[in-house]
Amino acid sequence: MATYAEPAGGAAVGVKPRRAPWAKRIAWRILGAIFVLWAAATFVFFVQQLLPGSQATLILNQQTGNQQSYTAEQLAPTEAKYGLDQPVLTQYWDYIKGLSHGDLGNSYSQFKPVTEIIGEQVGPTLVLTITALIVAWILALGTILLTSRRRKSVSTLGSGWEIFSAGLPYYWLGVILLVVFSIELKIFPVQGGTSIEGLVLPALTLAIPLAGFIGQVTRDEFEKVLDQPFVTSARARGMGDLAVRLKHVLRHSVLPAITLSGWAMGALISGAVIVENVFARPGIGNMIVGAAEHRDVPLVSGVVMLVAFIYVISNILVDIAYAIVDPRLRG
């Protein structure tokens, strides 16, 4: 993090050294992050208190495959085991305490700690979403660089494609890609698992609509920047068109899209739920659907915490990226 330039001029004279305000910002960020995590945990805990029906009955039944109701005495051992007989606030306090130690509790539907379950499944989802984000960026930037402000037809095509692809629902695109490329043409495996070939279609399914969205936002900005005087002067100095686009324009125009990327991680995870479902891929997306279906409260809470955590980290990374890309903001 020691790559910041000297203070851009304009600050008051005789100010304190650069490092302090920067450290303070980081400290605030972390505090904010913790707040978000705590609030998310609290929300998801209390929402699930509203779940109808007896949790202990569900736990017993789903492990045994029965669909019967039990008497209070039959339920007592299960309730004791999972702490369900405690008052709500006690359960909440235990939960938060556990969270601070990194203990997410034990799953109701699998006989394992939640951290273990999530640990097994989070890898593929992260691989999928990050790959999708990268691919989306490449697609978006490629389209813009090549089609922005060129001949009318080319540029129209680029813009039109972005608009169209941004509106494609993940599930629809995924099913169509699956049937066409996996089942009919047999180019990619149907059951992707964790292989690279199995990653292509799911990542594309997530990336294409996102690329459309990023593309639209960046294109607007790109074209505005292309009009700026400093671009004209760069061109006057003899820089090639592509070079101008790459070196100067892109840098300024990607800022809104960088902001978008932070939000995009959250949206990608939502999309991952669907994509993992369509392509039968392992990951937390599939897992959370199952967890919600089984009302596995600790597991659902665990996934929510994980997603909140990813979101918070992404945002911090976005801030850093922002600061690096835009020299004007380092002040």
Partner 1 sequence: MSATPDISRPGAPGGTPGSARSGIAIPEWVRSIRPGVALAGLVVAFFVVAMIVPSLLTGQDPYAVNLEQTLQSPSWSHIMGTDQSGRDLYARIVYGARESLLIGLGATALGMGVAIALGVLAGLGNKWVDGIISRGVEVMFAFPILLLALLFVAVFGPSVTTEIVAVGLGTAPGYARMVRGQVLAVRDSGYVEAARALGHPYGSIVRRHIFPNAMRPLVVVMTLGVGQSIVWASGIAFLGLGVPPPSPEWGALLNAGRNYITQAWWLEVMPGVAIVLFSLSLTTLGRHLQQRLEGGVNR
Partner 2 sequence: MGPKMNRKDKNLSSPSPARAPKRALHPRASLRALRAHFAVFAAVAMASLLAVGLSACGGSSATGAGGGATDGSGNGAVPGSTDTAVNVVGTEGATAPTGTPKSGGTINYAHEMETPCLTGGWIQEAYIERQYADSLVSMTKGGKIVPWLATSWKTSPDHLTWTFNLKPGVKFTNGEPLDAQAVVDNFYAWLNPETINPTVQTYIGEYFKSAKVVNDTTFQLTLSKPYAPLLPVISQGYFGILSPSTYKGGAEAVCNEPIGSGPFIVDKWTHGQNITFSRNDDYNSAPQNAVHQGPAYAEKLIWSYVNDPTTRYGSLTTGQSNVIYDVPGPDWATAQNEFEVQQYITPGRPDTLDLNTINGPFKDQKVREAFAYGADREAAVASAFEGKTPYNGNGALSQTTPNFNPDLEDTWPYNPEKAEQLLDQAGWKKNGDGVREKDGKPLDILLIYGANSIITNEGATVLQDLQAQWKEIGFNVTLKPLAFAELFAAEYTKPTSYDATIGYWTSPTAGVMLITWRPWDGKEPNSYNSPFYNDPHLIDLIEKGNASFTEAEKDKYYGEAQEIVTKEKAAVVGVYTQETTLAVEPNLKGVWLEASQGEPVFADAYFEDQS
- For residues 287, 289, 311, 113, the Cα torsion angle rounded to the nearest 10 degrees is -40
Among 122, 123, 290, 317, binds partner 2 (CB under 8 A): 290
d(CA 329, CA 331): 5
Scored b (16 or more CB within 10 A) or e, 188-220 reads beeebeeeeebbbbbbbbbbbbbbbbbbbbbbe
Among 114, 225, 295, 307, binds partner 2 (CB under 8 A): 295
CA distances from 252 to 85, 107, 231, 235 (A): 58, 47, 11, 16
Handedness of CA 125, 127, 128, 134 (dihedral sign): positive
In the complex, least distance from residue 314 CB atom to partner 1, rounded to whole angstroms:
10
Subset of 97-116 contacting partner 2 (CB under 8 A):
109-112
DSSP 258-314: HHHHHHHHHHHHHHHHHHHHHHT--SHHHHHHHHHHTT-HHHHHHHHHHHHHHHHHH
Binding range to partner 2, per CB under 8 A, among 2-10, 125-133, 205-213, 215-223: 215-223
Whether 122 contacts 306, CB under 8 Å: yes
Q: Ramachandran region of residue 261, left (φ > 0), alpha (ψ -120 to 50) or beta?
A: alpha
d(CA 329, CA 80): 55
Among 99, 114, 117, 300, binds partner 2 (CB under 8 A): 117
User: 189 contacts which partner out of partner 2, partner 1, none, CB within 5 to 8 A by kind?
Assistant: partner 2
The reply to whether 27 sits near partner 1 by the rule CB under 8 A is no
Subset of 45-84 contacting partner 1 (CB under 8 A):
47-48, 50-52
The reply to whether 48 sits near partner 2 by the rule CB under 8 A is no
Binding flags for partner 1, 148-177, as an x/- string (CB under 8 A)? ---------------xx-xxxxxxx--xx-
In the complex, least distance from residue 242 CB atom to partner 1, rounded to whole angstroms:
28
In the complex, least distance from residue 93 CB atom to partner 2, rounded to whole angstroms:
26
Among 213, 286, 303, 306, binds partner 2 (CB under 8 A): 286
In the complex, least distance from residue 4 CB atom to partner 1, rounded to whole angstroms:
25
Among 80, 179, 180, 313, binds partner 2 (CB under 8 A): 179
Binding range to partner 1, per CB under 8 A, among 135-143, 245-253, 264-272, 316-324: 264-272
The reply to whether 163 sits near partner 2 by the rule CB under 8 A is yes
Binding range to partner 1, per CB under 8 A, among 105-113, 232-240, 270-278, 323-331: 270-278
Binding flags for partner 2, 14-33, as an x/- string (CB under 8 A)? ---------------x--x-
Among 269, 287, 299, 318, binds partner 1 (CB under 8 A): 269
**SS3 state at 192:** coil
d(CA 269, CA 258): 17
The reply to whether 266 sits near partner 2 by the rule CB under 8 A is no
**Residue 233 has which token pair?**
């002067």
Subset of 302-331 contacting partner 2 (CB under 8 A):
315, 318-319, 322, 329
d(CA 268, CA 307): 11
For tokens 């993992």, the residue is 276
Closer Cβ to partner 2, 92 or 322, answer by number: 322
Helix or strand holding residue 152 (H, E): helix 152-166
Q: Which amino acid is at 154?
A: V
Smallest CA-to-CA distance from 125 within 312, 316, 321, 307 is with 307
Footprint of partner 1 (CB under 8 A): 32, 35-36, 39-40, 43-44, 47-48, 50-52, 163-164, 166-172, 175-176, 179, 183, 263, 266-267, 269-271, 273-274, 277, 288-289, 292-293, 295, 300, 303-304, 307-308, 311-312
